[in-house]
Amino acid sequence: MAKTQSLIFTIYDDYIRHYNNRIWVGSLIRILEEFTHNPQSVRMCLSRMTKQGWLSSNKEGKKSFYSLTEAGENRLNTAAKRIFNMRKEKWDGHWLMVVLQNRFDDTKHKQAFMRELEWHGFGQLSANVYVTPNPLHGIMDRLVIKYDLQGRIDIFSSKYTGGGEADLIRRCWNIDEINNKYDRFFEKYSRDYVLDKQLIAEDRLSPSECFVKRVMLTHEYKKFLFIDPGFPDELLPEKWLGHHANQLFTDYYQLLGEGAIRFFEEVFKADNAYDAKEMRIDVPLDSYLNGRSEYKE
């Protein structure tokens, strides 16, 4: 079963932040019981996430409520845009290159920066050189400020003239392994999708089952954020399976939506302020499939 913190982030992303962005700890404990997480582990995780700056807490009487902080919102927004982004502009042929200077000798600081580059899809061309075909200039501007990198890195936008770009991609990314993982995801969840579609049509899949399946589907798909650099179509292999996996995820996510939200609302409305506003089952998809892309800075 998934780690408690990962599940909490997913539940905040898909549900809680669309319901006033706050929830009573008892409601969250009840929800996570569906994933066999005990109350103590949930409380410990919430305390840790609060110390890390992802959540804030406030008390009303004897009840403790937790909300996403601005940092937590930003983390989820970046991830959601990558998960649900299916529309990208035509590639202009330019590569963004980041060169770490030798004076960048703060090892801990440097490693954190390099991990963040990789999370945003950069590939490592050599020890101190990272590249991406995506125009992430705005993201780089923020990272320069975040890590105080002025004068310690160089940033270039240029075209590659060294030969076939397919070879460059294979030197910087394990594109075949990424494609294989998409294949395994598609093979597993395409079967589950067909079975659950039939069960839902026959009213044989409970709201709580829909909720658990939907959260775990999103949790599994989010793993591609850490390995898929999000190449423009022009640079993808001929038999690229990422698009098929993305479409399957989108269809399956929406299929489970009505039952999943019914379960969440039943738990949420019992002990949380609720304004009875209508929440569409496609809220995250509606937000991110209509022209919002992290590559538009």
Q: What is the reported pTM?
A: 0.85
The residue-averaged pLDDT of 217-229 equals: 91
Instruction: Report the Cα 120 to chain-centroid distance in Å.
Output: 11
The residue-averaged pLDDT of 259-286 equals: 73
Q: Do domains 4-73 and 95-158 have the same CATH topology?
A: no
pLDDT for residue 1? 59
The residue-averaged pLDDT of 116-144 equals: 94
The residue-averaged pLDDT of 188-194 equals: 98
Domain boundaries of the chain, sorted by first residue? 4-73, 95-158, 175-288
Q: Structurally, what CATH architecture does the domain formed by 95-158 represent?
A: 2-Layer Sandwich (3.30)
* 4-73 fold: Arc Repressor Mutant, subunit A (1.10.10)
